[in-house]
Amino acid sequence: MGIRGTVRSLVVAGALLLASGSVVVAPAVACACGGVVSGDGSARVDSETAVLGWDGRRETILMRLGMRFTGADAALIVPTPTPATVSAGTAASFAELSRLTAPEVVVDRYWFDSDRYESSAGAPGSGPEVLGQVQLGPLEATTLRGGDLTGVREWLSTNGYQLRPEVSATLEPYLREGWSFVAMRLTSPEPLDGALDPVRLTFDSDRLVYPMRMSAAATTPQSVHLYVFGDHRLTRTDADTESQFITTEFASPVSALTDPDLIALAAGKNYLTELSVSIPRPAAITTDFTFAPADTDAIVRDRIVEKEYVEILGFPAGYVLVAVALSILAVAGGALLRRRRTR
C-alpha cells in the first residue's frame, strides 16, 4: 500500500506573554506572536491554531492554545481594530476542521501484481478603558480600549502582566491606529500540559485582518497555521509575504458544516483556505496579515492512495481471469472446429 500525507504546521496567533507578578522574568520562549515569559522559565507553547471569518462588517477569530506551564498567571494579549467581544469556543470546531481538511482517500485496485513491491489614542499618560471582563474556565479575559503606551503598560503591570520592553513596544503602532486589545491570563495555579479551551474574539472591522506586528518581538523563527473562510480561495496580500514562506495546505469549497460555531463564523462563506506560514526572521515583520481572493479557485487537497490487490484463490485476479478467458476461447474454438469438420 502506498500512502502519502502531510505534516501540518502549527500556528501561534496574537501576543503571548506570561505574567509573573513582581518577579524578574526569564528570557521569552518564542512564539509566533511575540513571546512567552515566566519567572521560572517553565512555560512552553506547543501549538496554537486560529480560524478566521469575516462577514463584511464583523470579524471572528477562534483560537486554541496548547501549552505546558507549571507556574501561574499565563497570559495572552491580542490587538483588535475595534473592541472585541470575548467568549468561549469548543474543541468540536477544530475536530470538524480536521475532518474537512483531511486528505482524500483514493483506492487504486490492481488486478495484476507488478506494482505490489513498489516503495511507497488617548491623552498622554492615560490608561485604557476597561470595556468588559469575563471568566472562561481558567482564563480571565479583559477587553481594553484607548490610552497611550505608558498608560497601557501601567495597567498591564498593575494587573499582573509583566511584558518585556521589546514586546510592550510593539503595542504602540496599534495604539496610534486606535486599535483595542484583549488581555487574557490563566488564573488557575494548577500546572498545564495540553490544550486550553478555544477562545472566540468578535469585533468590527472593515477588512479581514490577522494581527501579527507584535510577533516582531520574537527571537526565534515562527510558524503560523490559519484556517480562513471566504467566498473564494484566499491568499495573503500584505507586504511581508516576500520575506515569509507561505504554503496553501488546503483550499476547497466545503459543505454541510455541522458545528454551530463554525457555521456562525463562516457566515455563509463556504470556501475554506488553510495556510501554513513560516517566518524565519520575526524582526522583519512590519505588518499584519491581510487577505484577498486568489487568482484561481483551484482546489488544493492532499491525497492518500491506497493500493488494493484483487486476488482469486490467492492468485492475482487479472491473471486468473485472463487464463479463464483463454480457456473459454480455446474450448469454444475447438467446438467450432469440430462442428465444421462434421459438416
Domain ranges of the chain: 15-307, 312-341
What stretches of the chain adopt beta strand conformation (E)? 15-18, 44-54, 58-69, 74-80, 85-88, 104-110, 129-136, 139-145, 180-186, 192-195, 199-204, 209-210, 222-230, 234-236, 245-253, 271-279, 289-293, 303-309, 311-312, 315-316
Closest-CA residue to 253 (of 291, 298, 207, 210):
298
CB 144 within 8 A of CB 128: yes
Rg (CA), the chain: 28
Residue 321: φ, ψ to 5°: -65, -40
Could you tell me whether strands 199-204 and 85-88 are parallel, antiparallel, or unpaired per DSSP bridges?
antiparallel
CA atoms within 13 A on the CB side of 181: 34
Which DSSP helix (H) or strand (E) runs through 152?
Answer: helix 149-158
Can you give the pLDDT of all 343 residues of the chain as single tens digits? 333 332 222 233 333 333 333 333 333 444 455 445 444 455 555 567 899 999 999 999 998 876 666 555 567 788 999 999 999 999 999 999 999 998 887 776 655 555 544 444 445 568 899 999 999 887 888 999 999 999 998 998 888 887 778 888 889 999 999 999 998 887 776 665 556 788 999 999 999 999 999 888 877 788 888 999 999 999 999 999 999 999 999 999 998 899 999 999 999 999 999 999 888 998 999 999 999 999 999 999 987 766 666 666 665 655 556 666 666 766 565 566 666 666 6
DSSP-assigned letter for residue 29: B
